Chains A and B, each alone.
Chain A
Amino acid sequence: MKPKIAFFDFASCEGCQLSILNCEDILLDILNLVELVEFREAMSEKAPRYDIAFVEGSIHRDEDIGRIRDVRTRTTYLVALGACACNGNVQARSNFVAPAVNYAETYGEEARNRVQVDPDFWPLWAHTRVRPLDRVVHVDAYLRGCPTVPNEFLHLVTSLLQGTEPHFPPNAVCVECKKNENECVFEQNRTCMGPVIWGGCNAVCVNNGYVCDGCRGCLPHANIEAHVRLMRQYRISDEAIRSRYRLFLGFEPIARGV
């Protein structure tokens, strides 16, 4: 029987779902292999149970927690889709600003004062803290990156179809940089997060003339101390290093500490 798959989203740009819709060449093939039961971005149907749930976005509010827990109870396998779901992505940087300040910045001083004294004030804003999914529910697999990489999505789907789990080797972006024969950006007197970042994106940013900013999250074995020393050698101030780590890695322990 075809596995039932469903897509859900929380705070995100929804680009990861779009990345999958963007696999035009194979979209119809995929739909032959699975039964798509929920995909709010492209369809109106809803379903009570699914085999695989792809969840995009980070968790911010109490109501998000309720909803992701509900998804977890309905699905056999839960995949964190994209950087927001895997590690909080860019918005995790807002964790470094107190919620009241966030409101004040966006909605004015008055809002700041009220949000602090009136718990019922604009409950939708009950912004707690930007968290990746696995801080709230168990996650079975991670499709990293901002946006997610279609090839990894395919590997995941074909693995599950065959009754096994996907495997994403914990190798640095540098590996793919070498396979693409890129000149290392350090060679060009620029700095890169690649050595501590989980590869799998084919080093696409370096391939296209940029550096790696680390959207796929830190490797489990990342040698952060060495990376900070390396950045300092390139005369990057500690403050700038911290800010750099807080671009995409705001939720990683390192970004809090550097």
Chain B
Amino acid sequence: MDGANQTFSIDVNHITRVEGHGRIKINTRDGVVEEVRLCITEANRFFENFVKGMQPEEIPWIVSRICGICCVGHQMTATKAVEAALAIEPSEQTVLLRKMLTESQFIQSHVLHVYFLAVPDFMGAMSVLPLAKSHPEVVKRALRLKKLANDYTAVLGGRMLHPMSNTLKGFRKLPERHDLEQTLDRLRAAVPDLEETVRIAQTLKMPDYERETEYVSLKHPDEYALYDGEIFSSDTQTTVPVDHYLDVTNEFTVEHSTSKWSKWHRESYFVGALARFNNNFDMLLPQAKQAAADLGLRAPCYNPYKNTLAQVVETVHCTHNSIHMLEQILQYDLTEEDLGFTFRPGRGIGSCEVPRGILFHDYTFDQSGACSKANAIIPTSQNINNIERDMRAFVPQMLPGMSQEELKLKMEMLLRAYDPCISCAVHMLEVEFVG
């Protein structure tokens, strides 16, 4: 039974295989889509509110708790924001270590998403578990890559989640040389696994839907921007400084949402792997460009389902880039740095790319030395607007040839393709599809 001329409503409560709680509602009457809504039902934890009163060095450590899977990204962005507020200049060594920490989390998050959350859809499985029986080599490879990435994070950060080594100005404990060497060896040895990952990704049949939108990411003149850069729009092909982020996100509330939405030059914009890929393709390492070619992924790409492929490309990039960075850092001995600083009141803004897109943190410190105002704008809340618009555009296109079940699955897949991290959405939001 296909959806043409049908009157039905689909309600997917607690969407699975995404971080956090969401809900999709679709209502059609006589084959006409009346309403498509994406609701995020996650309870708010009011981070921006309760970090007030905290000491500068406590903030990156606490806000990493916004999200487990993006904890490094939140910590890095907060560290940069607080450092900006306090006029702290981290050393070259620190920045390099932080970049490695950042990329370690890109690898682990992308591998998790591609293998655990997305691939089962394409293989027609409810989860990765049946794959452990039917395709044990796939699951074992996924676990191997994920473990490598996690260990890499732990070597630099002290542990896999909510790392404690990084702080303002530098690292409380430097990674052991021996561990860095071992990580380098393991990353090099992981190249065949990556090639295999690309090969699997090649076989994934992507739904054939396109909708051109505005792509927003960081951009850096010298590198594929992840840790640093300015805000770039595919619409204007220009950058604006990070300090102007509020002009970019333009948060607004909508009637049916408990979250603020974002828009910049048009009704919505896209952040995440595909946006970075589209905007910064030239800065990818050759191996990553090759992977993109193998996957038939060309910039610009307007198919949001292919965000998953862009993640594969970025995994290749981050692995090879990490190999370069490790080679570089192993050339000299790491030096213990003095982490002391003098406090000054002020405001600072930081931005990093995290696996799911561009992230902004903004803190103000008053004379008392404690945080008096905080703001964080998370990729997923920037994307929600765009996801809902994709759904609205795709549902009518899909309806004629698709059963309700299939439609439901395609919508879930679309949502999962964005790899949304709803726990991150500290800005609450509700999008309902009710007819």
Whether chains A and B associate is: yes
By a beta-carbon cutoff of 8 Å, the part of chain A in contact with chain B is 9-19, 21-22, 24-25, 27-28, 31, 36, 39-45, 57, 60-61, 64, 89-91, 93-94, 96-97, 101-102, 105-107, 122, 124-125, 127, 130, 146-147, 204-205, 207-210, 213, 240, 243, 247
Q: Are B62 and A90 in contact (CB under 8 A)?
A: yes
Report the bound CA distance from A205 to B163 in whole Å: 9
> How many inter-chain residue pairs (CB < 8 Å) link A and B?
179
Q: Are A14 and B147 in contact (CB under 8 A)?
A: no
By a beta-carbon cutoff of 8 Å, the part of chain B in contact with chain A is 14, 16-21, 41-50, 53-55, 58, 61-62, 65-69, 71, 112, 116-117, 120, 126-129, 132, 139-140, 143-144, 146-147, 150, 158-162, 164-165, 167, 171-173, 253, 258, 260, 370, 423, 426-428, 430
Q: Are A107 and B423 in contact (CB under 8 A)?
A: no
**Which residues on the A side are within 8 Å of B68 (C-beta)?**
12-19, 147
Q: Are A42 and B117 in contact (CB under 8 A)?
A: yes
Among B65, B117, B427, max chain A CB count under 10 A is at: B65
Report the bound CA distance from A50 to B180 in whole Å: 43
Q: Are A106 and B172 in contact (CB under 8 A)?
A: no
Report which of A28, A40, A105, A240 forms a contact with B132, defined as CB distance below 8 A.
A28
Q: Are B165 and A31 in contact (CB under 8 A)?
A: no
Q: Are A89 and B65 in contact (CB under 8 A)?
A: yes
Q: Are A94 and B45 in contact (CB under 8 A)?
A: yes
A41-B19, A106-B49 known; A21+B112 contact, CB < 8 A:
yes
Report the bound CA distance from A213 to B165 in whole Å: 14
Q: Are B44 and A106 in contact (CB under 8 A)?
A: yes
Report the bound CA distance from A139 to B127 in whole Å: 28
**Which residues on the B side are within 8 Å of A64 (C-beta)?**
43
**Which residues on the A side are within 8 Å of B61 (C-beta)?**
210, 213
CB-nearest residue of chain A to B339:
A209
26 pairs from A and B in contact (CB 8 Å cutoff): A15-B71, A16-B68, A18-B68, A19-B160, A21-B116, A22-B161, A24-B143, A28-B132, A28-B140, A39-B127, A40-B16, A41-B19, A43-B16, A43-B129, A44-B127, A45-B126, A101-B49, A106-B44, A106-B426, A146-B65, A147-B68, A208-B158, A209-B171, A209-B172, A243-B55, A243-B370
Q: Are B150 and A22 in contact (CB under 8 A)?
A: yes
Q: How far is the CB of B77 from chain A (nearest CB, A)?
A: 15
**Which residues on the B side are within 8 Å of A89 (C-beta)?**
65
Among B21, B41, B50, B146, max chain A CB count under 10 A is at: B50
